[in-house]
Homo-oligomer: A and B are copies of this chain.
Amino acid sequence: MMSLPPHESAPWPSFSFDVTHISSEPGVSARCGTLTLPHATIETPVFMPVGTQATVKAMTPTELADIGFRIILGNTYHLHLRPGEEIVARAGGLHRYQAWSGALLTDSGGFQVFSLAGLRRLGADGVEFQSYIDGSKHLFTPESVMQVQRDLGADIVMAFDECAPYPCTRDYAAEAMFRTHAWAERCVSAYNGAERMATGGWPQALFGNVQGGVFPDLRRESAEFLTSLDLPGYAIGGLAVGEEASARNETIAETTARLPASKPRYLMGVGTPIDIIEAVGRGVDMFDCVLPTRNARNAQVFTSRGVLNMRNAQFNEDFEPLDANCRCAVCALHTRAYVRHLFRANEMLGPRLTTYHNLSFYHRLMRDIRAAIVTGTFGEFRKTFISEYSGSGASSVSVDEATQIVEDGAGPKREAARVRHGRE
């Protein structure tokens, strides 16, 4: 065990996590909690929409709040490249820059540096990489990534980590894990040196990132090491990168079992509705994924009976809502026939409506999950949901099948790199 970092006894101000319900159903490790952050109080398990470039694609902040979201993601890598953290800081931080009054979480940039950057050089200090926008050179170190995230000013920030690709050898996964641990210690030091405060003046909570690929012993070691740093929360990184669902679920169970029960657990980049339900059953509290938003831009609609593709001619005269069981503002007003027409005609309102609906679907899924945990019926909920979702004529879609992206600022270079990931 590591010795605890200097500030080990200081509270993480304005941050708390209370586990409010633990499932006692056999074979279910699900739990509910309340996460208190400077900008919001959040019920867990929670899904966090991804706002890569200071916007959840196609959505206004008001619409996100209307659906019920109180926390969204921003991407450190993308925001560093454009518009740059200095401009965001001068705007008063990312909340103000994008007019989002809820809570924010920024990732570490590690995933993008390792999965997206064409040219990169790994040194003792950090990673040098080229911008996908203009080819300019940038260096990410644990210290610089902490500074970028201070400038952005999210409620939750992530320690810089190395996300190993899948598949990779045990040696590679171990090396990436050890580097992640060393960087986590440097992040903690840098962060404590900055009094754990955002440039905007509010406190930030630093989460560590468990790595170790799909090797159970590495995951155990990583969870134990990071736990020794006594951070306010822990992410499970390096999954949803192409591995089988069974390997993913085993790795999740292995990891959550070694993380402290009193701290929130965040599974990065996952996933489909079924992936999320399975992970909640294994003790995960927080999720993010681009599936509901990205797939929406490809006309794919999540429904209680699986995924429907609105580009299909069968919807030409289908005057039913996207999902008859959905009560979102889109399903209250619009028909499948109309949404199909919008996609055929390349009208922006098409992806707007499907994005709003898909995010509403995910938000309601989490609400239903929480209700099932509280009432002790999570096992039954899981069974019924999966049966209805998978059983109909609609096709299900997995993270690994995430398809081409209609419109996105990043261009084809990024597409190839991330096409199989639930992250951007």
- Please give the residue numbers on chain A whose beta carbons come within 8 Å of chain B beta carbons, in ascending order: 53-55, 57-62, 82-83, 87, 90-91, 97-99, 316-317, 319, 329, 333-335, 337-338, 341-342, 344-349, 351-353, 407-409
Quick one: which of B97, B319, B342, B353 contacts A91, CB cutoff 8 A? B319
Most buried by B among A61, A91, A341: A341
Distance A409 CA – B341 CA, assembled complex (angstroms): 11
Nearest-neighbour CB distance to chain B for A80, whole angstroms, equals 13
Residues A337 and B97 in contact, CB atoms below 8 Å apart: yes
Say whether, besides A90-B317, A316-B87, A317-B87, A352 and B348 are in contact (CB < 8 Å): yes
Let me know if B409 and A338 touch, CB within 8 A: no
Residues of B with C-beta under 8 A to A87: 316-317, 337, 341
Within the complex, the shortest CB–CB distance from A151 to chain B, in Å, comes to 14
Which B residues touch A408, using CB under 8 A? Answer: 346
Which of A99, A334, A348 counts the most chain B CB atoms within 10 A? A348
A316 to B184, CA, bound (A): 34
In the complex, chain B residues whose CB is within 8 Å of the CB of A352: 58, 60, 348, 352
Pull 19 A–B residue pairs with CB atoms less than 8 Å apart, ordered by A.
A53-B342, A54-B338, A54-B345, A55-B345, A55-B347, A60-B349, A61-B333, A62-B329, A82-B344, A83-B316, A83-B341, A83-B344, A90-B319, A91-B319, A91-B337, A97-B338, A347-B409, A348-B348, A348-B351
Which 6 pairs show the lowest CB-CB distances between chains A and B?
Answer: A346-B409, A345-B409, A99-B333, A53-B345, A55-B349, A83-B341
Minimum Cβ distance to chain B for residue A135 (Å)? 16
Q: How far is the CA of A125 from the CA of B156 in the complex (A)?
A: 69
| CB-defined contacts of A61 to chain B, threshold 8 Å | 333
- When distances are taken between beta carbons in the complex, the residues of chain B under 8 Å from A348 are 57-58, 348, 351-352, 407
Cα separation A90 to B87 with both chains bound (whole Å): 52
Complex Cα spacing A409 to B343, Å: 9
